[in-house]
Amino acid sequence: DTGVSQNPRHKITKRGQNVTFRCDPISEHNRLYWYRQTLGQGPEFLTYFQNEAQLEKSRLLSDRFSAERPKGSFSTLEIQRTEQGDSAMYLCASSSGQGAYYGYTFGSGTRLTVV
């Protein structure tokens, strides 16, 4: 088990382009979370999956953002029509049960720069 894997590690895109990030959780973890971290801030919750079902979405997740977790394995986070304000580190985490009790394992993140 290699932990939570996120790809790509870095992404530079022009404003208005679409981008997609991938997260591969720990294989036996049924819960998957996306967070966004801007410079000088702590991570902020975006959305959460239990298996393939998206159960929670933060108000931070605008209509331009969409996340999927087909078959309850890996997850993708897509941002459409990127804006400079989307520049951030996007972190993925997984857990085997209720995260607060079982613990969360975070990936190394995808750093997005919108120019």
Residues with Cβ within 8 Å of residue 42, at least 6 apart in sequence: none
How many Å apart are CA 94 and CA 33, to the nearest integer?
6
CA angle 104, 110, 111 (to 5 degrees): 125
Candidates 16, 17, 51, 103; binder of another protein (CB under 8 A) is 103
The nearest distance, CB 81 to another protein, in angstroms, is 26
The nearest distance, CB 4 to another protein, in angstroms, is 8
Using CB under 8 A, which residues numbered 19 to 38 contact another protein? 31, 33, 35
Token pair of 102 as six digits: 């079982």
Residues lying near another protein in the complex (CB under 8 A) are found at: 31, 33, 35, 40-45, 48, 55-56, 58, 89, 91, 93, 98-101, 103-109, 111
